[in-house]
Structure 1
Amino acid sequence: MNLDKKRWIILLAGCFINLCLGSIYAWSVFSAAMADYFNATMGSNITPGDLAIVYTIANSVGPITMISGGWFNDKFGPKKVILVGGIMWGLGMFLSGFATSVGYLIATYGIIGGLGLGMAYGSVISTCVKFFPDKRGLIGGITTAVYGASSVILPPIVTAIVSRTDASFAFKLVGIIFIVLIAVSCMFLEQCPEDYVPSGYVVSTTGSGAKIENKNWKEMLKTPVFYVMLLLLTCGAFSGMMIISQASSVAQNMIGMTAVQASLAVSLLALFNAFGRILAGYISDKLGRINTLMIACMLGCIGGFILYNCGTGAAGLFYVGLAIVGMSFGSFMGVYPGFTADQFGPKNNSVNYGIMFVGFALAGYFGPQIMRGVYASTGAYQNAFIIALSFSVAGIIFTFLYRFLAKRK
């Protein structure tokens, strides 16, 4: 089978792997069940909030192996790197089923699982994008959307398992299933040949399809455009990371929704997040990456403004604001893998995108912190949405700065 056909099988395998990796978004289901398990079996007095540190650590250590694993991926190919990362992720979940303390969960889920997740996730996306130089935006959107879609698909499955057994068994079962699925999927992966070009695809001399010089991470860090792109990613992801972290609490405390209605709001945000990744990735192949990202920043402004004007009982308006913010956030997640490859070349994109992902990590840290700080000091969320809107405005400014630097180059 030639590569033009085989690349679609590789993409499908990558999507299965990312679906497993995206189960980190089901943590809220696991944490609530695990807190109940600790309290029932060991007489503890633990709340899901006490277990939040486990999720925080799992997300925080990921970029470490996303960068280091990216180096191995670019040098030796994706099979072994993603297999090791995937096994670590599944093993971390399996071992969490034996947890007797929060510290044990930090070691298994947070550190072993988190390091494996970062290693596999970045390599999956980079590998798939390399095989589609003609559709980098769309493929980046699809692979990141499947990862995000786990937040919709997996929670009800995990909930069903927990309801019939307990959190301990759910961790073990899901961990084993993920190890098997990832191992089988890795059999279909392979390294993309350097300078691979699909049949019938003509490399243009301008635009996102232009052939460019491959830069390694050291060369990338020497370019001013890298820092503009990193800050643009931080600004673009800020609103989404801020609101995703506390969407349920905002829905209940600001709008007066019930827990069931709030869960619907969270699902709506997740759906538009996933949809935005695919749509923006596709559009960016047509309109250009930076034009698409500017539109995404504008959507962030609109979404922030709508949420700022929401109040008690304004459920419909709140849903609209969440959907728009989800679209904006998803756009950045879907476009940036291809955007980074366009700018610095596909050869070293695993490492380069891993470093660029620091911009996302910054948004993931400061967004929720600012949301919590604003609510703690004012007893309301509105000012946080104004701050988020300001970041989106800053993002628009960075798109113009990027154009200036690209034109000068």
Structure 2
Amino acid sequence: MPVAVTPVSTSMTQATLSTRWTQLVLGLIAMMSISSPQYVWTLFTKSFQDNLHTNLAAIQITFSIVIVLQTWLSPLQGYLVDKFGPRLLIAIGCLMSGLGWVTSAYVTNLAGLYFTYGLFCGVGTGIVYIGIIGLMVRWFPDRRGFATGMVAAGYGFGAIATTFPIDTMLRSEGYQHTLVVFGVILGIVGAAAALFLRMPGPADALPPAPAMASTRDVAPKAMLRSKVFWLMFVMMTMMSTGGLMIISQFAAFSRDFGVASVMVFGLAALPLALTVDRITNGLTRPFFGWVSDRIGRENTMAIAFLMEAAAVTIMILFRDNALVFVCLSAVVFFGWGEIFSLFPSTLTDTFGTQYATTNYGFLYMAQGIGSVLGGPLAALLHDATGSWLPVFGIIIALDILTGVLALAVLKPMRKAYSP
């Protein structure tokens, strides 16, 4: 759906302009503070395994609990943020995430780990993620794609700032001291930022939303009865599943392709690719969000999703070339991570802002389904066929199908939608 670019309203005061950018920075800080429980988890698995005297599979259940609670409770978390406001709920979420680290440092059994790291970090990060996204689509009606992309990128980039300090402290002070110190720091930093968050009020003369955006607010119950929502849900599920198939098995198929240890620019291809991919996975969110603010959500979806399909295809055709593997994997992640800016902005454009946080909570469940399907399906298909090629065939098909659906079905369906 082409979206007309709306210039910043002349009625928006300098104070309001400053306030909404301040809100964006505060949201970015809060998102960065909750990224480590997911993205730095892998650094702690060996320590937990040794201390609790159990196997890796049992330890990894903790991570699954975090993801499931973060995504599948998101409608409830979004409802609470809509009802009680972002300041208190997001501050509580940041503190819960930090508390999960602090308390997990003292557990002596698996159940304790599940109920500390799994429960507190899962619920806490979910509240913050959903709350911040819901807040940004309200403060930036004219730049929803860019604003949601920025804070979503913060969730990915936050771990870049903490990975090396955490790894260093782990080696020198042990995992328990590291969990306590960083749990306290990240919890306090996130909560402090959250205490200055607020919803836009009547006095905030914000610029209008694009001409094609909905001027009516659709409640969750009515949204769930609409075909356009379920089309978006299926599309996001397909993109999440395909992307997580790659993420979860990235190291495995790079080793099978024989490129993991090949030197590229003086570095082994696998860690180099993982580093570059993390950067492009973050950059794509504000970039394609910004693009979608100018050329339309569905047009941008088609470009990004079909670009990912092409990149995966070329990466597989030249899978024995380490340099191509590193470069194309970066393009693959650049074509995937933008789902976290395009889908929330499209949803709010369609169903309005009053229930934006709760509504996105329902859509965000698609990421939870993708996390459950992606890794296991890829592994099962590889085990059954003895090859990664069928897995990548599915990924390419999902990318192409979702890109085509964006233009051929979602675009006219959104245009015709009337609540």
Is TM-score (shorter-chain normalized) higher than 0.5? yes
The match for 1:33 is 47
Q: Answer whether contact 1:65 1:116 (CA < 8 A) is retained.
A: no
Residues 202-351 of structure 1 aligned to structure 2 (within 5 Å)? 202-204=208-210, 206-207=211-212, 210-258=213-261, 260-312=268-320, 314-351=321-358
Cα distance in 1 for partners of 2:60, 2:82 equals 34
Q: 1:142 aligns with which of 150, 168, 172?
A: 150
The reply on whether 1:19 has 2:27 as its aligned counterpart is no
- Alignment: residue pair count: 397
Cα distance in 2 for partners of 1:371, 1:195 equals 51
Q: What secondary structure is seen at the aligned counterpart in 2 of 1:98?
A: coil
| Structure 2 residue identity aligned to 1:188 | F
Offset at residue 346 of structure 1 (A): 1.2
Indicate how the Cα distance of structure 1 residues 128 and 374 shifts in structure 2: closer, same or farther if over 3 A, else same: same
Offset at residue 372 of structure 1 (A): 0.7
Moved more, 57-66 or 128-137: 57-66
| 4+ residue runs over 4 A deviation | 194-197
Q: What secondary structure is seen at the aligned counterpart in 2 of 1:2?
A: helix
Cα distance in 1 for partners of 2:43, 2:85 equals 34
Indicate how the Cα distance of structure 1 residues 51 and 131 shifts in structure 2: closer, same or farther if over 3 A, else same: same
The match for 2:79 is 71
Q: Answer whether contact 2:214 2:350 (CA < 8 A) is retained.
A: no
The match for 1:405 is 413
1:111-136 CA distance string (max 9 Å, x none): 12211111111001211221111110
Cα distance in 1 for partners of 2:65, 2:111 equals 11
Cα distance in 1 for partners of 2:342, 2:164 equals 29
Cα distance in 1 for partners of 2:277, 2:258 equals 16
Q: Answer whether contact 2:72 2:368 (CA < 8 A) is retained.
A: no
Offset at residue 49 of structure 1 (A): 4.2
The match for 1:7 is 20
Cα distance in 1 for partners of 2:48, 2:174 equals 8
Offset at residue 214 of structure 1 (A): 0.6
| Structure 1 residue identity aligned to 2:387 | A
Q: 1:89 aligns with which of 84, 97, 100?
A: 97
| Structure 2 residue identity aligned to 1:352 | N
Indicate how the Cα distance of structure 1 residues 261 and 152 shifts in structure 2: closer, same or farther if over 3 A, else same: farther
Q: TM-score, normalised by structure 2?
A: 0.90
Q: What secondary structure is seen at the aligned counterpart in 1 of 2:151?
A: helix
Offset at residue 187 of structure 1 (A): 2.1
Cα distance in 1 for partners of 2:145, 2:326 equals 27
1:69-114 CA distance string (max 9 Å, x none): 2112212210111011111111011101112222221110111221
Cα distance in 2 for partners of 1:221, 1:234 equals 16
Q: Answer whether contact 1:131 1:196 (CA < 8 A) is retained.
A: no
Cα distance in 1 for partners of 2:167, 2:387 equals 32
Offset at residue 148 of structure 1 (A): 1.1
Cα distance in 2 for partners of 1:57, 1:292 equals 33
Cα distance in 2 for partners of 1:73, 1:355 equals 14
Cα distance in 1 for partners of 2:32, 2:327 equals 27
Indicate how the Cα distance of structure 1 residues 192 and 255 shifts in structure 2: closer, same or farther if over 3 A, else same: farther
The match for 1:117 is 125
The reply on whether 1:62 has 2:70 as its aligned counterpart is yes
Q: TM-score, normalised by structure 1?
A: 0.92
Indicate how the Cα distance of structure 1 residues 56 and 174 shifts in structure 2: closer, same or farther if over 3 A, else same: same
Q: 1:371 aligns with which of 362, 373, 378?
A: 378
Offset at residue 152 of structure 1 (A): 3.0
The match for 2:7 is none
Cα distance in 1 for partners of 2:160, 2:57 equals 21
- Tell me which of the two structures has the higher relative contact order, counting C-alpha pairs closer than 8 angstroms and 6 or more residues apart: 2
User: Cα RMSD over matched residues?
Assistant: 2.0
Cα distance in 2 for partners of 1:75, 1:2 equals 26
Q: Answer whether contact 1:21 1:89 (CA < 8 A) is retained.
A: yes
1:346-382 CA distance string (max 9 Å, x none): 1111000010112222222211122111222233212
Q: Which runs of 5+ in 1 are unaligned?
A: none
Q: Answer whether contact 1:86 1:120 (CA < 8 A) is retained.
A: yes
| Structure 2 residue identity aligned to 1:101 | N
Offset at residue 403 of structure 1 (A): 1.9
Q: What secondary structure is seen at the aligned counterpart in 2 of 1:17?
A: helix
The match for 1:357 is 364
Q: Answer whether contact 1:32 1:47 (CA < 8 A) is retained.
A: no
Q: Which runs of 5+ in 2 are unaligned?
A: 1-13, 263-267
Percent identity over the alignment? 24
| Structure 2 residue identity aligned to 1:370 | L
1:258-282 CA distance string (max 9 Å, x none): 3953222212221111011111011
Offset at residue 159 of structure 1 (A): 0.5
| Structure 2 residue identity aligned to 1:406 | R
| Structure 1 residue identity aligned to 2:49 | A
Cα distance in 2 for partners of 1:64, 1:239 equals 19
Q: 2:184 aligns with which of 176, 187, 191?
A: 176
Indicate how the Cα distance of structure 1 residues 202 and 14 shifts in structure 2: closer, same or farther if over 3 A, else same: closer
Q: Answer whether contact 2:71 2:367 (CA < 8 A) is retained.
A: no
Q: Answer whether contact 1:140 1:338 (CA < 8 A) is retained.
A: yes
